[in-house]
Amino acid sequence: MQIHDLPHPDPGVPDARSGPRFLWWLFRNQLDGQLKSLAWGLLHFASVASLPFCVGVAVQAAVDRSGGRLALAGGLMALACVGNAVGDTFLHRSAVTNWITAAARVQQLLGRKAAVLGSALTRRVAAGEVVAVSTGDVEKIGWFVEALSRFTAAAVTIVVVTVGLLVYQPALGVVVAVGLPVLALAVLPLLPRATRRADVQREKAGRATELASDTVAGLRVLRGIGGEDLFLDRYRRASQEVRHAAVRSARMWSLIAAVQVLLPGLLLITVVWHGVRLARDGRIDVGELVTVYSSVMLLTYPLRHFEEIAMAYSFSRPSARRAARVLSLERAMDTAGTRAAETPAGDLYDPRTGLCAPSGSLTAVVCGDPDAAGRLAERLGGHAAQEGTSVLLGGVPLDELPLDSARTAVLVQDKDPVLLSGTLRELLDVPASGSVDPGAALEAAQCQDVLAALVQGSLGAEDPMDARITERGRSLSGGQRQRLALARSLVTDPEVLVLDEPTSAVDSHTEARVAQGVRGLRSGRTTVVFTSSPLLLDRADRVVFLHEGTVVAVGGHRELVRTEPRYRAVVTRETEEETASSVALRAGNGGRHPDEVPDGLRELETLEEIEETA
């Protein structure tokens, strides 16, 4: 596969049982590229290894004053140089291709896994770890995968040259045959310690990356509470730990490199000493001595690949382990689906909680536990984090549909939606029914001030749709980001739209207009809003109140405020003492609110005032 063919049409199903198994799976899945790299590597190393033979023939020809053999040696040397140049060029090309294609395959696998798991991914693995795997780790994994074929070519070359020396000059070939395995295996006792130190370095670097990612993501909040210095000190300490670990790891690798310089030097000294004695006794020719000496000297080049493969494996193994951990995660429910692809319509019903959102209506859901509300929102969209009874849409279990069909039918907007960098036009360029115009969606989400801010912050952007949005919308306020995300969801126009606290960072007057705009634009479509805002609740066709994971009351907002103390406590932020007192007074008045207890009704008066102003 060539680089221009990326991305892979199908990255395949990885073997994520362990890090080494994942590395071997990657190697097998680009076998053609590995064989090409091996072939060019053999040409390159064989050409390098043949140069000493050519030099030896030339020296002996000069000693014997043979012009014909000297010319033959020159021709062979030129041929070896050409083979060396061609082999080295295409070896580098194929190796880089293998590296990039392996890294791209891992990134595709990680991207698909993130798309399949959705928000459940960051509940099971830290977001910073996912970032570390998809950035730094993929490069180290690709490094080992591409180095494996070059190491194989180097090992084959060393074996062939050693056998050739044994045949060419047995007296010196025995010394080389004994010495080379010692050189290759001498660093093995040092590798476990070097690998452990490299693992520690990678773990500390991963934690530092996680800390940096989480700090940047929450920078606005940290600035609000004055916590930048605290997290800066934490990151400074983490980075120093990474530096100390890297220095300790580098010391071990420098020792391994020193061993690989020292031992070949001792072997060369031994070969020269023994060879000179043999030449002095007349048992070998000068040309044979030069050939063996040059061969041993040049064999130190392929021997370096033994150190490289050991280093590549020690660095890639923890990276592959982290990648395999992420790739081994599975959805709690079926992802392939047992039904044919379809987009069902009808009532949305959750058997676990008893929640029912009638088709074509705006249903508001009130839940006292924000985390429980987030999990329920994920369930309604087919993103359940735990196994259980499937949510039904028009009587069709969402978990039995192919994942694409389920997500087409039900769109869930998270509590903290992400805005990608780019223009506003690109942000709103999402798969949609085509029934909702981006301008209408922006108007319904009350984004007029957001458009003005984007135009003001983008040089040369006269059309607001061409205005630039910074990464994650950091130049915008929390409320502005929420409204842009809401407009994007409205443009999609799914059969069912689930919104989790879509206006938690918006002021009351804007929130009232947003509520009216969403209700008007989603008329005839099923919309479920998780909120405790009276302004949104009062615009809903029906309000569902959940307590301890079960539906306990259904009705209009104003009705539930008057009749359900637990609902009123969540919406009006009553204390436990006020709720208990309200329940006792209600019980003493035959289940009706006494006129002298207006706590739950004050909220309605305030609501009416905001409505009139809006």
DSSP characters for 190-213?
Answer: GHHHHHHHHHHHHHHHHHHHHHHH
Q: Is the pLDDT of residue 293 over 60?
A: yes
Q: Which amino acid is at 531?
A: T
Q: For 345, which DSSP code? A: -
Indicate the helix (H) or strand (E) that contains 441: helix 438-444
How far apart CA 13 and CA 11 sit, in angstroms, is 7
Burial 563-598 (b: 16+ CB within 10 A, else e): bbbbbbbbbbebeeebbeebeeebeeeeeebeeeee
Q: Is the N-terminal amide bond of 351 cis, ω within 30° of 0?
A: no
Q: Which of 96-105, 189-198, 398-407 has the highest mean pLDDT?
A: 96-105
User: Token pair of 344, please?
Assistant: 């069902």
How far apart CA 366 and CA 341 sit, in angstroms, is 32
User: What digits encode the pLDDT tens for the residues 339-374?
Assistant: 777 778 899 999 989 999 999 999 999 998 888 888
Which residue's entry shows tokens 């209700």?
Answer: 519
Burial 145-177 (b: 16+ CB within 10 A, else e): bbbbbbbbbbbbbbeebbebbeebbeebbebbe
Q: Which residues contact 43 (CB under 8 A, 6 or more apart)?
A: 83, 86, 87, 90, 91
User: What digits encode the pLDDT tens for the residues 110-149?
Assistant: 888 887 777 677 777 766 677 778 877 888 898 998 898 8
Alpha-carbon dihedral angle through residues 575, 576, 578, 579, given to the nearest 10 degrees: 120
pLDDT at 161: 83
CB 97 within 8 A of CB 33: yes
pLDDT at 594: 41
pLDDT at 602: 47
How far apart CA 421 and CA 458 sit, in angstroms, is 13
How far apart CA 203 and CA 314 sit, in angstroms, is 13
Q: Which residues contact 292 (CB under 8 A, 6 or more apart)?
A: 52, 56, 165, 168, 169, 172, 173, 176, 271, 275
Mean pLDDT of 167-185: 82
Q: Which residues pair with 553 in a beta bridge?
A: 545
Quickly state the pLDDT bin for 500 (edges 50, 70, 90).
very high
Q: Decide: residue 246, CB within 10 A, 0-12 exposed, 13-18 middle, 19+ buried.
A: middle
User: What digits encode the pLDDT tens for the residues 501-541?
Assistant: 998 888 888 899 999 999 999 998 999 999 999 989 999 99
Helices (H) and strands (E) counted in the chain, each on its own, are 23, 12
Quickly state the pLDDT bin for 471 (edges 50, 70, 90).
confident
Q: For 501, which DSSP code? A: S
How far apart CA 29 and CA 104 sit, in angstroms, is 12
Rg of the chain (C-alpha set): 35
Q: Which amino acid is at 97?
A: T
Largest pairwise CA distance in the chain: 126
Q: Which residues pair with 280 in a beta bridge?
A: none
Q: Is the pLDDT of residue 336 over 60?
A: no
Q: Which residues pair with 410 in a beta bridge?
A: 496
pLDDT at 384: 67
Name the strands in the sheet holding 362-367, side by side, starting at the edge strand that comes first in the sequence. Answer: 410-413, 496-500, 526-530, 362-367, 542-547, 550-555
Burial 465-474 (b: 16+ CB within 10 A, else e): bebbbeebbe
Mean pLDDT, all residues of the chain: 82
Listed residue (216, 286, 97) closest to 470, CA to CA: 216
